[in-house]
Amino acid sequence: MRIFILYIFLYIFVFQGTAQISDFSHISFEKADEIALKYKDETLHNLPDLVYKLTSQLDTDAERFRAIFKWICSNVSNNYGLYERNKRNRQRYKDNPARLKAWNSKFQKIVFKRLLKNRSTICTGYAYLVKELANLADIECEMIHGYGRTSTINLKTLDSPNHSWNVVKLDGKWYLCDPTWASGNPNPESNQFQFDFNEGFFLSDPKIFAINHHPIIKKWFLLEGETPSFDDFMDAPIIYNKAYAYFSGHTYPQKMHNAIQRNQNINFTLQLQKEVAEKDVNLVIESSFRERKIYPKEVSIKDNSLSIDYKFEFTGFYDVHLYIKEDLIATYTVEVTR
Amino acid sequence: MKTHITIPKKAWYAALIMMLIFAFNPMYGQNTSAQKGRIIKGTVSNPQGPLEGVNVILKGENQGTVTNAKGEFTFPVALETGDVLVISFLGYESIEFRIKEDTTFVKAILSDEVIEIMGAVNTNKRYKSKRKN
């Protein structure tokens, strides 16, 4: 009997494959996307009505959730002004819980007012809206708080949670998504928000998600077995938006900062989620004096895994950027010694 | 002596109109035990006062209404015992209200959803190490 229970336990908690979008490869989200586009002029004044419009013509929860997610990510903009204001005050009051609480309560009102009026918000507003609309469509969905890492977040000052995203239960399984990062980016010139939907943040693979998302509550990694520690997360390489388009996981190097000796191999291994040609894999190597693009000779693609080996001939400190064609995937630093 | 009652034409018209009104007007005041649905009114507020623009919908249906400036609403369709109203407003915790046998008026108080507000901005900017030289 005990063994039986153990097997059931193992079956439920261990043998459940990681949940990701490929589980829904038999579903086309075209219709859901069309509906999201059709109602682009809707406001947030009547949420139940909005949910009804977005979901009533769709047959599966996955499609219904997709329509909601797509609508939010293509209609709610990221408000950098609010973000800066919040960051400043959270930093200012971080050692004064009473002031921080007062600020949070005040800021919350500002955030919801802005969301309703201008359809613009910051992370938590996105996550809140996804949860609220999904719940109205009778889909189980939660907000997850934790840490998010990008190339511009100074990790040394990252001492409290800075990001929110969602988990959603579809066909009895939890999935990850990040509506804020799926919606768009700052325009490189004007620094204003621009919409640019990123498919990779919808039902993402938990393995790659864990490289730059670290939930406060461990179970929301949705990973089997051991989960990364906070130090692992802080030391991990920087991955970019496009990484989510090509890869489902990142194995080596495990750290952002690496030290090797001259002519010693450094290996990069990532798990692919779509086909990549070996000739498209390139590295941009930046030293204090120059930047050069190289097509490494030792690239292999086997069993959905991309492996690159590279040797540095000269000592120095290098920023190494991994690209697929022109798409920036990840950054590492390598210190090469004698 | 025989009195002759003449009814003026106008009165005939009035009678006809009265009859039409009764004929096409649904009957009210039925026996309460046979009563299936009833019109429910209510108010929605937060601890500070009435809330305007709150959505009140019948769960599972696309039928609902919005509260006025005084936080009042009248549900547009007759409700039955066991129906559930979902009362929701952006930034507040939604509540569900089940219509009981004796419910005629709904008084809902929404509380602020306490959320720690955060935000990490996404970027495609390439990382660059800070170098001394």
CA pair distance A109, A91, nearest whole angstrom: 19
CA pair distance A21, A43, nearest whole angstrom: 29
pLDDT digit string (tens) for A103-134?
888 888 888 888 888 888 888 889 999 999 99
Sheet containing A163-170: which strands, arranged edge to edge?
A202-204, A173-177, A163-170, A141-148, A213-215
Strands A77-78 and A120-121: parallel
Q: Which residue out of A319, A320, A333 would a mutagenesis test of the B interface target, given it has the greatest number of B Cβ atoms within 10 Å?
A: A319
pLDDT digit string (tens) for A161-174?
888 999 999 999 99
Residue B103 has pLDDT above 70, yes or no: yes
Is the separation of the CB atoms in B74 and B67 below 8 Å?
no
Q: Where are the beta strands (DSSP E) in chain B?
A: 41-46, 49-50, 55-58, 64-66, 72-74, 84-88, 95-98, 105-109
How many C-beta neighbours within 10 Å does residue A295 have? 11
Residue reference for tokens 């969602």: A166
Give percent above pLDDT 90 in chain A. Answer: 62
pTM of the model: 0.81
Q: Which domains does chain A have, with CATH numbers?
A: 21-236 (3.10.620), 251-337 (2.60.40.10)
Q: What is the DSSP letter of B20?
A: H
* A186 vs B94, B118, B123: nearest CB: B123
Is the separation of the CB atoms in A262 and A271 below 8 Å?
no
Q: Provide the shortest C-alpha distance from residue A278 to chain B (in Å).
A: 23
Residue A284 host element (H or E)? strand A281-286
pLDDT digit string (tens) for A210-241?
999 999 999 999 998 889 999 899 999 999 99
Residue A177 sits at the chain B interface (C-beta within 8 Å): no
Q: Among candidates A204, A158, A163, which has minimal Cα distance to A18?
A: A204
Q: Say if the Cβ atoms of A83 and B129 lie within 8 Å.
A: no
Q: Which residue out of B88, B112, B115, B128 would a mutagenesis test of the A interface target, given it has the greatest number of A Cβ atoms within 10 Å?
A: B115
> What angle in degrees, to the nearest 10, is found between the helix axes of A30-38 and A61-75?
40
Q: Say if the Cβ atoms of B121 and A128 lie within 8 Å.
A: no
Instruction: Write the CA distances from A1 to A5, A13, A14, A16, B91, integer angstroms.
Output: 6, 18, 19, 22, 49
| Identity of the amino acid at A190 | S
Q: Say if the Cβ atoms of A123 and B120 lie within 8 Å.
A: yes
pLDDT value of position A16? 46
CA pair distance B45, A148, nearest whole angstrom: 36
pLDDT value of position B104? 87
CA pair distance A126, B118, nearest whole angstrom: 10
pLDDT digit string (tens) for A18-77?
677 888 888 889 999 999 999 998 988 888 889 999 999 999 999 999 999 999 999 999
CA pair distance B57, B108, nearest whole angstrom: 13
Residue A85 has pLDDT above 80, yes or no: yes
Phi-psi region of A233 (alpha: psi -120 to 50; beta: other; left: phi over 0): alpha
How many interface pairs between A and B have CB atoms less than 8 angstroms apart?
134
Q: Say if the Cβ atoms of B113 and A122 lie within 8 Å.
A: no
A284 class by beta-carbon count within 10 Å (0-12 exposed, 13-18 middle, 19+ buried): middle
Give contacts of A107 with chain B, Cβ < 8 Å. 117
pLDDT value of position B23? 64
- A118: CB partners within 8 A, 6+ apart: A77, A79
Q: What is the CATH number of domain B37-114?
A: 2.60.40.1120
Backbone torsions φ then ψ of A288, nearest 5 degrees: -65, -25
The whole-chain average pLDDT of chain B stands at: 79
Give contacts of B112 with chain A, Cβ < 8 Å. 105, 108
More confident residue, A20 or B25: A20
Copy the structure tokens of residue B124.
Answer: 């495609």
Give contacts of A185 with chain B, Cβ < 8 Å. 122-124
ipTM, 2 decimals? 0.75
How many C-beta neighbours within 10 Å does residue A22 have? 12
